[in-house]
Structure 1
């Protein structure tokens, strides 16, 4: 027969579980970002990021033409 107290873990097991959950959720990184200075709003501090080229295959183009022609 089991008792209600059989379900409880030891304090050491609960602490280990909490530490593992914290690592899993990356709480340490979130805490660092929470106290970090705000990002700059100055235009000079940013560089232009080139846009990726989007390629449409011939098969996709044929499908699109077939879908949108009445």
Structure 2
């Protein structure tokens, strides 16, 4: 077995290079976009916090450790 047997076909290698080139071009576009605004006026709405649910098993563990999740 020669060390060249594990290499892919030239067409496959070329396709991989083209895919990498496309991904790099996309990354370059994303990297040069302006940063999103952090000013409140640009985001006038409030986003609600997610509800946190505590399962019975977590409650039992917390109580056993004296954490008292209420």
- TM-score bucket of the superposed structures, by smaller chain: 0.5 to 0.7
Which has the higher relative contact order, 1 or 2, with Cα contacts under 8 A spaced 6 or more apart? 2
Q: Which runs of 5+ in 1 are unaligned?
A: none
Q: 1:1-70 maps to which residues of 2 (within 5 A)?
A: 10=10, 12-22=11-21, 26-46=23-43, 47-68=45-66
TM, length-normalised to structure 2: 0.57
Give distance in 2, aligned partners of 1:56 and 1:30.
Answer: 40
Deviation readout 1:1-36 (Å, 9 max, x if unpaired): 8597xx5864x543311123456xx43432221222
Structure 2 runs not aligned, ≥5 long: none
| Higher helix fraction (1 or 2) | 1
Which 4+ runs in 1 deviate beyond 6 A? none
Aligned residues: 64
* TM-score, normalised relative to structure 1: 0.57
